[in-house]
């Protein structure tokens, strides 16, 4: 099962973190951009080729540190067909390096449309993707075509409590003494009961933002067998001490994402003077190591280590 594969990768790397490959051209080192600007007159084509090279550099420098990557498809879609080709090439390259893939697609539709989305992203249309993120607003009809693939070593992470500030506009509404995010947690827990792996966790997981540590505690109680994908660490303000609330006492149950904090590390004050220009990949690697160490240190303080 996907969740078993994920847990084993986390234990192997001793690292419950994932790097989000959300490519923005302003985060790609200039020497890479300049190389492709000379080769292509089409600005968009030059940019997406530069992004692909940088993605491969990032993967090369984190493959021994992290268990998986999380490419966000919107950044690739913005470049049209060529961008989607790069999305697939990124997936394929990461798989060659032994990494798991969580495709951040946030799809949510019903009927034949949901089946088509599921086939595209879990049926091999974009490469060997291991798991996807989903928006559950349309209910179980929008989720079931994806969870069918959980019997084929695939997984899903369903939005429960997201890291953005305006998530409260809907997710925090109270109905019969329960917040909507808590009701969503109960649904996710129910949808995942048939996909429990050998470590006691389900391949139907939840997205729970690092920026809401108290809500995490509530959702951890509701979804004790769900794996949490945790955005919001670092650039959005979530800390390692915050994210420990997503982990169970066995030290499992969550994988924490950082995107800009890793792929844009060479521009951060902490690294930019030491690693710049053609050494920018070293900033990426160091940032990934620092994130791992930060989270593991926080987990050790509360005795939640799984290895």
Which residue shows structure tokens 């048939």? 194
Determine whether 106 is an active site residue: yes
**Catalytic position from the list 106, 119, 168, 267:** 106
**Active-site annotation, residues:** 106
């Amino acid at each position: 099962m996907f969740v078993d594969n994920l847990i084993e990768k986390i234990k192997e790397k001793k690292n419950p973190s994932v790097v989000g490959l959300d490519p923005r051209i302003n985060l790609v080192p200039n020497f890479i951009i300049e190389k492709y600007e000379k080769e292509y007159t089409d600005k968009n084509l030059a940019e997406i080729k530069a992004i692909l090279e940088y993605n491969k550099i990032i993967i090369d420098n984190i493959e021994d540190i992290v268990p998986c990557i999380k490419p966000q498809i919107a950044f690739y879609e913005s470049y049209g067909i060529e961008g989607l080709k790069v999305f697939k090439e990124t997936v394929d390259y990461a798989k060659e390096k032994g990494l798991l893939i969580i495709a951040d697609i946030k799809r949510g539709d019903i009927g034949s449309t949901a089946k088509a989305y599921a086939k595209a992203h879990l049926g091999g249309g974009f490469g060997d993707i291991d798991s996807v993120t989903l928006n559950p607003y349309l209910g179980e009809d929008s989720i079931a075509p994806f969870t069918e693939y959980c019997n084929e070593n695939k997984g899903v992470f369903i939005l429960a409590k997201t890291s953005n500030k305006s998530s409260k506009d809907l997710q925090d509404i109270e109905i019969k003494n329960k917040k909507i995010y808590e009701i969503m947690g109960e649904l996710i827990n129910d949808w995942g009961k048939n996909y429990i792996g050998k470590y006691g966790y389900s391949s139907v997981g939840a997205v729970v933002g690092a920026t809401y540590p108290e809500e995490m505690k509530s959702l951890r109680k509701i979804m004790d067998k769900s794996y949490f994908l945790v955005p919001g660490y670092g650039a959005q303000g979530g800390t390692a001490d915050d994210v420990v609330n997503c982990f169970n006492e066995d030290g499992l149950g969550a994988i924490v994402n950082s995107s800009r904090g890793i792929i844009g590390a060479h521009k951060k004050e902490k690294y930019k003077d030491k690693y710049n220009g053609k050494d920018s990949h070293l900033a990426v690697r160091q940032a990934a190591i620092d994130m791992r160490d930060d989270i593991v240190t926080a987990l050790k303080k509360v005795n939640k280590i799984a290895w």
